[in-house]
Each structure stands twice: as structure tokens, then as C-alpha cells.
Chains A and B, each alone.
Chain A
């Protein structure tokens, strides 16, 4: 069974940093591209970042470019999102999601990031 488990969310002050992790199991992690998608409270889904299976291709939404860094450790079956210079508008549930030709076929349960003083 495919499982994605996010962790690392919490309360952080504006301008602060946070590192999210996503532990993958039940599939061959290094074969799949992975994404982070977020959802602000009461709002819709917003794509944040993508990383290819070999880390060769990395993309960011304009809203986080220069502040967030996506990475992965295929030996540890883990995906990461380093978030710096956090703003109130970054407050959201952050999901990691597996990417296939079928779309986002697996999602984690999400981890809540709250940016507030």
C-alpha cells in the first residue's frame, strides 16, 4: 500500500523557517516524481513545487520561488521542503503527492504550517 506521511509543520513567526518532510513507503520511491501542494484554510489547492525522480528537474510556483527549496533523498525514501522567509500567506496545509502519468495518484494526510506572530 502506498503511504505518504508528512511531518514538520507547526507555528512559526513571519520571517522564520521550517523544514517539512514526507516519508514514502509501499512503492519504489526513486521511480517517481514528487510534488508539494498546499491548501490555505478554507481555500483551494495550490501547487508549490515539483522534483523529478532523479532531482534533475525542479520547479517552483512564483509565489515561493527564491524562498522554498524542494529536495529528496532516494536512499531514505523521503521528500523535503525547506521553507525560509515565511509569510502569513504561506499558512496552509502542505501535502506531498506522488506524480504519475495518471496525475496525482497518492496524497499524504498533510501537515499544517501556521505563520503568525
Chain B
């Protein structure tokens, strides 16, 4: 079965750039989405189709996807961006999530 691998945790200082990776076999041939989840809340879509932002998502969130790795980049990271982030892609009619990355802003 298809798997997506994320680092368990990433730390970033306020105002700096955070990058969260998601690896999967030929992931670049699929569309990747990214979800933000804060404690006690439902996930929120922050990036879809590799690099597009839904309305209401700040411009500091961006994404890319090439070959075997999708990357979520948060520029000028703010304290409010501290959350868990999950990548997701579709493979053979099944939805696959990465294991999640806890982003700490300190």
C-alpha cells in the first residue's frame, strides 16, 4: 500500500521560514494537499493541488511537489502557525495521509 512519510517534528523561530516535507514513491505524479490541525480542532485545508491556497489562507503558506517529495513552506512563521500538519494524496482510489508533523514555533 502507498505510504507518505513526514518528519515527526519541525521547529522554527518566529519570523523564520519553516519547511515540512512529505515523501512518497513518485509523489510528484500525484496532487498533494496539506492540512493544519490545532489541538482540539478539526483539520483545515491550507494547500491543495500541490501549491494552491484556499481562500482565507495567508500568503505565507506555499507548497511544491516534485519527484518523490512535496514540501509545505511557511514564510515568516507566526506563533499562530504552531500546529500539526498532514500531507495527503490519492492513490488508486484510496486516500493516504502522512503521519503528521508537529510544528513548534519557539
* Residue pair B93, A57 in contact (C-beta under 8 Å): yes
* Residue pair B33, A47 in contact (C-beta under 8 Å): no
Which residues of A89-111 have CB atoms within 8 Å of chain B's CB atoms?
Answer: 95, 101-105, 107-110
Known interface pairs A45-B35, A50-B93, A57-B93; A103-B45 also in contact (CB < 8 Å): yes
A13 to B72, CA, bound (A): 41
A interface size (C-beta, 8 A):
21
Q: How far is the CB of A33 from chain B (nearest CB, A)?
A: 11
Interface size class of B (residues with CB under 8 A): 20 to 34
A50 to B88, CA, bound (A): 15
A35 adjacent to chain B (CB < 8 Å): yes
Known interface pairs A44-B100, A61-B94; A104-B54 also in contact (CB < 8 Å): no
Beyond the given pairs A50-B93, A109-B42, 5 more chain A to chain B contacts, judged by CB atoms under 8 angstroms and listed by A's residue number, are A57-B93, A101-B49, A102-B48, A105-B48, A107-B44
Q: List 14 A-B contacts (CB under 8 A).
A: A45-B43, A45-B86, A45-B97, A47-B94, A47-B95, A47-B97, A59-B93, A95-B42, A102-B45, A103-B49, A104-B43, A104-B45, A108-B42, A109-B42
